[in-house]
Chain A
Amino acid sequence: MNEFSNAFRTAAHLLVEMDPGLLEVVLLSLRVSLSAVILAAVFALPLGAFVALTPFPGRRGVVILMNAMMSLPPVVVGLVIYLLLSRTGPLGTTGLLFTPTAMIIAQCVLVFPIIAALTRQTVFDLHEEYDEYLRSVGAGTRQKIATLLWDGRARLLTAILAGFGRAIAEVGAVIIVGGNILHSTRVMTTTIALETSKGDLGMALGLGIILVLIAVAVNTAVVTIGGGANQRTV
Chain B
Amino acid sequence: MEKPRKKLLAGAMVLASLAALGSYTLLSSPKGTNITLASTTSTENSGLLGYLLPIFKGDSGIGVRVVAVGTGQAMRMAMKGDADVVLVHHRPSEELFVEEGYGVERISVMHNDFIIVGPASDPAGIKGVTDVAAALGRIRSSRAAFVSRGDDSGTHKRELSLWATLGFQPGDDDRDWYRESGSGQGATLNVASEMDAYCLSDRASWVTFGNKRGLELLVEGDPLLLNPYSVILVNPQKYPHIKAPEGQQFIDWLVSERGQQLIAAFRVEGQQLFFPDALDPTEE
Q: Which residues of A contact B (CB under 8 A)?
A: 30-32, 34-35, 38-39, 86-89, 92, 95, 97-101, 104, 179-182, 184, 194, 196-201, 221-222, 225-226, 228-229
Contact A100 B4 (CB under 8 A): no
Q: Which residues of B contact A (CB under 8 A)?
A: 3-4, 7, 10-11, 14, 18-19, 21-22, 24-26, 28-30, 36, 41, 45, 50, 65-68, 80-82, 183-187, 189-190, 193, 208-212, 239, 241
B-side contacts of A32, CB under 8 Å: 25
Also in contact, A199 and B190, with CB within 8 A (given A98-B67, A225-B14): yes
Also in contact, A87 and B30, with CB within 8 A (given A34-B22, A198-B210, A228-B4): no
Also in contact, A199 and B239, with CB within 8 A (given A31-B24, A100-B28, A180-B68): no
Contact A99 B30 (CB under 8 A): yes
Q: Of A101, A198, A199, which contacts B26 at CB under 8 A? A: A101
B-side contacts of A229, CB under 8 Å: 4, 7
- The SS class assigned to the A binding surface is helix
Q: Of A95, A180, A181, A182, which contacts B241 at CB under 8 A? A: A95
**7 contacts across the A-B interface (CB closer than 8 A):** A34-B22, A87-B81, A99-B30, A196-B187, A197-B45, A200-B211, A228-B4
Contact A184 B65 (CB under 8 A): yes
B-side contacts of A31, CB under 8 Å: 21-22, 24-25
Also in contact, A38 and B80, with CB within 8 A (given A198-B208, A201-B210): no
**Complex Cα gap A34–B14 (Å):** 12
Chain A nearest Cβ from B107, distance in angstroms: 23
Contact A35 B241 (CB under 8 A): no
6 closest residue pairs by CB, A with B: A199-B211, A87-B81, A197-B186, A35-B22, A179-B67, A199-B210
**Complex Cα gap A92–B41 (Å):** 25
Contact A181 B21 (CB under 8 A): no
A-side contacts of B190, CB under 8 Å: 196-197, 199
**Complex Cα gap A30–B22 (Å):** 9
Contact B81 A86 (CB under 8 A): yes
A-side contacts of B189, CB under 8 Å: 199
Contact A180 B67 (CB under 8 A): yes
A-side contacts of B193, CB under 8 Å: 199
Contact B21 A35 (CB under 8 A): yes
Q: Of A39, A181, A225, which contacts B22 at CB under 8 A? A: A39
Chain B nearest Cβ from A140, distance in angstroms: 25
Q: Of A38, A101, A199, which contacts B18 at CB under 8 A? A: A38
